Each structure stands twice: as C-alpha cells, then as structure tokens.
Amino acid sequence: MSEVALLQLIGLGVIGAGVVILLFIQSRFPRVIGFVMIVLGLFSLIALSVPQMASLPPAEEKFDVASIKTANDMAVIGQKIFFSKGQCALCHSIGPSESARCPDLKGIGAKLSREFIYESLTQPQAYIYLDYRHEGPPKDYPARMPHINKNPIGLTNNEILSVIAFLQQMSGEPITISPSEIEMPGQSAPVSTTASAPAPSRPSPAKSKAKGKAKRADAGFVAMVHGR
Amino acid sequence: MRNHDASHGRVLRRLNVWGLSIAGLALLAGLLGFPVTGWAEDAASASAAVSYRDIPQLGGSRNVIWVIAQLHLLLAGFVLGVPIFAWLCEIVGWKTDEKRYDKLAKEFTKLLTSSYATTALFGGILLFLLIGFYPKLMTYLTDVFFPSFLVYCALFLLETVTLYLYWYGWDVMLEGRAKVFHLFLGFLLNVFAFFIMIIPNSWATFQASPVVIAEGSSLARAWAATWNPTWWPVNVHRLIANVVLGGFICGAYAGVRYLSAKSAEEREHYDWMGYVGNFIGVFGMLPLPFAGYWLMREVYQYNQQMGITLMGGFLSWLFILQAMLIGVLFLGANYYFWLGITYRIPGAEMKYKRPIMAMLVILLLCLGVWMTPHSLVASLEEARKLGGTHHPLLGVFGVMSAKMTVANLMILVTFMSFIMYWRAGKEETATWAKVAKAMMSGLFGVAAIVIIVLGVWGYFVPAIVRINYFSVAQVLIVLFVLLTVTPLTALLMKTARTTSEMVWGRMPPRAGYALVLNAVMVILLMTLMGYARSSSRVHWHIYGVMRDSSPYAYSPALGYAAAFMSLNTFIFCLLVAFIFWVATMGDKGQAKDAGHGSALPAMAGGSQALDDRTDVKSV
C-alpha cells in the first residue's frame, strides 16, 4: 500500500470515528471532539487529493581535484561554488539587480587583478575606505564582506582559486589561474597568491591600476547606497 | 480577619499548587531530557564533530521536532495572545464599569499561569531535542545569537515576575490608582511578551533570510543577524495572528461550555463570551491578510527564488489549501454574526435576510475564485484539449490579481457583517444619521468598485506595477474603509435608541460548533503556514548558508504534511482543553462549597445579576 493510500485510509478512519461519536454519544464534550475529528479528517483527505509533490535536495557539489584538467574546469567548479557553498550570490549579483545588497560583480574579473580579488576574499578589511557621511573628519568605513576562508563559509584555497577563475571567465578575460596551482591532498600551497603582511588602513598610492579602479568602484557603491 | 486569613490560605494553596506543578514539570523535563544527554555523550565520544543525531524508532528526529516545535509555537501563540485579549477586556471593563469584562479578563489570566508553564515545558523539550539532533546548526546559531539568548532569559524572568504580580494582585488592585497600576502591569506583561516573541522570531527568520555577518563584537553580529529582511514582517504577522488565536480559542471554549450549559444563566454567559471571543478574533483577522501580503513581498524582494518556490513552485498547492481554510474561517465568522442577528435580536431575522443571503453568495463566489489553482496538472492530451495547463475560462481566476481582489472583497463583506450586527436592534437618533449612513454605503460601494477595477486592470499591466501599486492601493482602500466606518458607526451608536434588546442564550447549538470550527481553522492555518515557511528554505537549515545534509533534507508532500498538521492541531486542542479544565476545576469546587450548586458558571462574569451577589464577589 502506498503512503498516500495509507494516509487516506487513516483519514477516513478518523472521520468514521468522529461520525460514530456524533451518532452514539450524547455527552457534549466527546461530541465536540468527534466534530473536530471529522474536520481534521476532511482537511487531511483534501490535502491528499491535490498533487503530491515533495521537494528533494539537489546533489551536493564536491570539489574533485582529480577532475580538473584545464582552467575552464576550474571556472565551472568556481561557478558552482559561487552559487552554493561560497554564498556569493546571497549578496552579489552578476549584472544589475534591485535585490542585490552588495556590488554588482559583472566584469569584476576585468577590473581587478587576481591578487586583489584573492585579498578581498580573504582579508576584506585590508583596505578600509573613508566614510564622509557625517560632520568632521572622515572615519574608517569597514567592509561588510565576511572572510571567505573562515567559518561559516570556510572556502578552501582551491575553492577560492576556482571562484576567481569563474569571475575572470565570466568577465571575458583570460583565466590566469593554472590547474597546476591546485593543492593536491596533503600538499602545501604551491603558489603565493597574496601578500600575507598586515594590510595598511589606507589605500596605498603605490598599488596597481586595477586596485585603484576597485577603490573608486567601491567608494562609488558606498556613495550610491547612502544617497551621496 | 477571618476573610484575611482565608485569602492568605487561598494564596498559599495556589502557590503550593503552582510550586508543585513547576516541580513536576521540571522533573518531567529532566526525565525527557535524560536520554537525549545520554545519546549526546555517546555521539561525542564517537566523533568530535557530530552534525546530526536521529531516533528512527520514533519516526525520525525531524518528525519529533516537528510535533514538539509546532505544539510549542501554538502554545506560545496562545500564551502571547491571551494577555492581549485579557488586557483589552480589562480596559473595557474599567472604562465601562461592566464587571463581567473584568472577570472575563481575570479568568483568562488565570489560564496563563498553567499554560505558561506548559509552553515553557515544551520549549525546554524542544531545546534539548534541537541540541541533541542538530548540534552543528545549534552551535552555529549559538555563535551568532548568544547575546540575544541572554536577553531572552532576562525577559522571561521579567515576564514571570510581572505575570505573578498581575495575577496574584488582581483582587487587591481593584479600584482607583491601584487599578490603574494593575492595568500598567498588564501593559508591561504585553510589552515583555512582545519582546519574548520577537527574539526567537529573529532566530527563525535569520534561517529563512540570512544576512552577511561581518567581523565585529558578538553583540554587533547578533544585532546584524537579528535585523534580517523578514524579521519585522513576521513579528507583525505573528502579533496579529496571536490576537486572532486568543480570540477564537476563547470563542471555542465558550462554544463548548455553551453546548453543555445546564442553566439559562450559564447559557447567557457563554453566549456572551462566545460573542466577545468571535469579535476579537474577527477584529484581528481583518488586517491579517495585509500583514501576510507584506511578508510575502519582503520574501520576494529578499530572494525571488524563495518567493517562486512558495507561490509557484512545489508549494503552490499549499496556497489553495490556505485559501480554503481562510474561506471557511471567513464563512464561519460571518455565519456566527448572522446567527447572532437572527437569534439574539428579536425581529431582525426578516429585516436582514436578504443582505445576509447576498453576502453569503458574494463570499462563496470569492472563495471559489480564491481557490482556483493557477495551473492544472494535466496529461499531455488533457493539456492539448485545454489549450495549455490553464483552463480557458477558469484560468483567468488563478492569478494573483484575481486572488488579491477577492481577498479584499471578503474582508469588506466580513466588516459589513460586523457593522450590520452592531447596528441591529438600534435606531439612530442623531440629526446627521442619514448623511452618515449614505456616506458609509457610498464608501462600501465605491471601495468595492475600485477594488474590482484595479483587479481587472491588473491583468493588463506588468507584474511589478500590479504588485507595487495596484495591490497596495487595494489594501489601502480597504484599510481606509475600516478606519472611517468604524469611528463613524461608533459615533452614531452613541446616541442611538435601542429598539430591541439583545437576548443572550438563545443561540442554536450550531453556533457553538461554528465557534469550535473557527478555532480549528485558525490552528490549522498556523500549522500550514509554519510548514510553508519551513519548506520555503528547501534543503537549507539557513538559506544559502548552511545546507541540510541530513537524511531529512527533503520537504515532504502536502498530504503527508497535512497528516502532521491535523495531528498537531488535535493534540493542541486536547492540551488547551486540559488547561481550561485544570484552571476551572477549583472554581467548581468553590462554587459547591459556597452551596450554589451548578448554577454558577465555572468561568466568571456570567451576568450583572451574578456581579451583584456579594458572596460571589468574595470568591
């Protein structure tokens, strides 16, 4: 017997019991219970008569190092991570969107160097912009971006590199991440992707052109969000 | 002095009972929690990072959590709704000097003590089970929300102290400034209850609409997570829904007692109580769809995919069931009003027969439109015959534009029923009465026409225009009618002459069943929408942040879910009946001791005659 048939049988049984109570018992309280049983049984039967659709979870994405042969393979995996484990799409959009709460990432791979993207993901407070939304001297404007390599998101180095590959590919840029940079299990990071020194609290004029662009873009976003 | 001693004795007895019940509940909680802690130790030794535990023997951890969480939520809704209900009744009693309102408020506050303990008991069980079954999720939530856990505990202490003062101080704060202070205590009770409601709401809504939590102090992180996009819509929706639940449960209780009433006095009293309960339930129900609309808007704005899952995805049929339940609730509430007009007001039956029939037809038509599904599940051949998955004629009613229109019309009709009941048996004496009545009729007529026009126009504009402007305009029009006609009618009735006195206690038995039906519908609706909210997260514990990787990551089909909803509703009804029975047991004993036999209603406030009896006043 199928689950639906079994539940229908139970529903009918509950209604039947309710009818019996109403027919043969005169005491008021049991009669009310019988009435409630009939109502609930009917509700269940109606719910069982509509199309029965369960929502099954999709298969979880696994980062299979062995499957990576080309830079494009990395970008494919990076796209999956971007929309799932990485939670990037929770706030960022690719292209203009009214519901996006953080900067639009369309073309970001063309605007920023891979080192800067890596640093933005793992040290979001490395460059703290200035906030002019009040009287007096400007104050630091801490980024709302979480550390992607720490909990709760906790992307591994391989996963972060794949996301960068996806961002570059999505921006129409050549992917500068090579599959050889992928860490094999039990192996330490083969490539130093970013400076690990403590970040200055102000953007340095000596940074690359790409970083300068990023600074302006983000500052523009801050101004736009706050109506400036 | 003897009275004083007796009063002390009574208080001590109550405290004893209260203390014993708390001790018993704590023991039970401990016993229930014991196996869970045992499993936790086993699991901890087996693995350092356990994500899930299960008890397949009891139908699986998810189902156990489902039942306990649902019962806790329903009880919490009741516990938070009743103080609002009681406080409103107390204010009415204080303002109008009608003692029966005050007694009604007091008796419902008495229920709070036992239901508060039961709610806390289920909350404790739920917490133990969540920690045991979902350690990874609970660790994450604790990490984010720990400061609000502490605030929650502090609020519970404040709420408990206020409840004790409010309940035990009732008889000593009856007059003058003391009464005002007592009303202030009632206000505080509701304020604390409100915050007790919105803090767990932040945990639950964060699961559905999480926000980015950047680095910062634990307080800043908790605050950021609390202010998530659906927090306030859910807060407002739940607050109103709790008032509705409290009102309709009061009505159902009155209905049951009315059915088993043995004397005319009891019948009068419970008939009146049913009227008050139904009135408060309907009063809350009218703005509830607007709060629901706001919530859905925020869901769509937060994540369109989640909105689509709810309204157009695998949960779309759920909204047909919701329409059916709300429709039955509207019909039940109106039916009770109509029975009241017919049986309580002599001579009104013939006068209002036609309008009642017209309103019934409108409600049924609206319900039919509301329940029309958006698309039909059809075979290829059937779809070809239909010309698609939409029915050629009825398909037009399946879209949101039609549903918003009929929902607003149903609210208007219910409000008309209420106004009709209010005015029945009275003749307006104000000189401006004719103008006011014409204005009210005009308002109803114009509002209905504009709502329909906007509904039809909605088919020909982009969805964003309809959602942002037309639907909002429809809602505002109905609110405008509610907010203008209510004070206007109140002003008219102030000087109106009573042509036929309302006679209580003459309602037919089906009125009692209608009240029970309304309460069951509200409870079912709460269980149904709880399932909807939970399922809209699909396979995520925290949407987009923490995936559910347990064997129960799927959302069950509606039929299976409905079986659980029915089970939970039934258990909750039995629990509430038990609480009512326990709370009124002492009254029956006292009534017998006082030698008044069975004529004294168990719940106080039977009639003015009862108020005047000095011996009853001292009870």
ipTM value:
0.82
Q: What's the pLDDT band for B53 if we cut at 50, 70, 90?
A: very high
Q: Is the CB of A43 less than 8 angstroms away from the CB of B517?
A: no
Other Cβ atoms within 10 Å of A19 Cβ, number: 15
pLDDT at B392: 62
Write down the H helix ranges in B432-557.
433-457, 463-465, 471-494, 509-535
pLDDT at B233: 95
3-class DSSP state for residue B84?
helix
Total CB pairs under 8 A between chain A and B: 134
- Rounded to two decimals, the pTM is 0.76
How distant is the Cα of A128 from the closest Cα of chain B, in angstroms? 13
Spatial distance between the Cα atoms of A69 and A88, rounded to a whole number of angstroms: 25
Cβ neighbors of B94 (< 8 A, separation 6 or more) are B102, B179, B183
Residues of B in Cβ contact (< 8 Å) with A84 = 547
Minimum CA–CA partner of A56 in chain B: B554
Q: Taking residues A106-118, what's their average pLDDT?
A: 91
Q: Is the CB of B558 less than 8 angstroms away from the CB of A53?
A: yes
Q: Is the CB of A102 less than 8 angstroms away from the CB of B260?
A: no
Cβ neighbors of A2 (< 8 A, separation 6 or more) are none
Please report the sign of the dihedral spanned by the C-alpha atoms of residue A183, residue A186, residue A192, residue A196.
Answer: positive
Cβ neighbors of B148 (< 8 A, separation 6 or more) are B199, B202, B203, B222, B226
Spatial distance between the Cα atoms of B503 and B606, rounded to a whole number of angstroms: 14
Q: Is the CB of B562 less than 8 angstroms away from the CB of A47?
A: yes
Q: Which amino acid is at A161?
A: L
Spatial distance between the Cα atoms of B100 and B108, rounded to a whole number of angstroms: 12
Is residue A10 within 8 A of residue A51, CB to CB? The reply is no
Other Cβ atoms within 10 Å of A110 Cβ, number: 14
Q: Is the CB of A43 less than 8 angstroms away from the CB of B535?
A: no
Residue A55 β-bridge partners: B555
Beta strands (DSSP E) in chain A are 129-131, 139-141
pLDDT digits (tens, 9 = 90+) for B494-540: 888 888 888 899 999 999 999 999 999 999 999 999 999 999 888 88
Spatial distance between the Cα atoms of A163 and A75, rounded to a whole number of angstroms: 7
Q: Which amino acid is at B477?
A: I
Helix H, strand E, coil C: the string for B594-609 is CCCHHHCCCCCCCCHH
Spatial distance between the Cα atoms of B371 and B496, rounded to a whole number of angstroms: 41
Please state the φ and ψ torsions of residue A130, each to the nearest 5 degrees.
-100, 140
Structure tokens at B6: 């007796």
Residues of A in Cβ contact (< 8 Å) with B513 = 32, 35
- Helix axis angle for B99-133 and B264-285, nearest 10°, is 60
pLDDT at B380: 62
Which of A197-211, B181-195, B493-507 is predicted least confidently?
Answer: A197-211
Task: With CA atoms as reference, report the closest residue to A62 among A159, A154, A149, A148.
Answer: A159
pLDDT digits (tens, 9 = 90+) for A76-99: 989 988 887 787 877 788 887 765
Q: Which DSSP letter does residue B470 get?
A: I
Q: Which DSSP letter does residue B482 get?
A: H
Q: What's the pLDDT band for B588 if we cut at 50, 70, 90?
A: low
Q: Is the CB of A43 less than 8 angstroms away from the CB of B556?
A: no
Is residue B332 within 8 A of residue B521, CB to CB? The reply is yes
Residues of B in Cβ contact (< 8 Å) with A15 = none
pLDDT at B374: 67
Please report the sign of the dihedral spanned by the C-alpha atoms of residue B477, residue B482, residue B483, residue B486.
Answer: positive
Q: Taking residues B20-48, what's their average pLDDT?
A: 46
pLDDT digits (tens, 9 = 90+) for A11-70: 999 999 999 999 999 888 999 999 999 999 999 999 998 888 888 887 776 777 778 888
Top pLDDT among B595 and B369 is at: B369
Is residue B122 within 8 A of residue B284, CB to CB? The reply is no
Nearest to A35 among B513, B535, B539 (CB): B513
Task: With CA atoms as reference, report the closest residue to B200 among B96, B294, B120.
Answer: B120
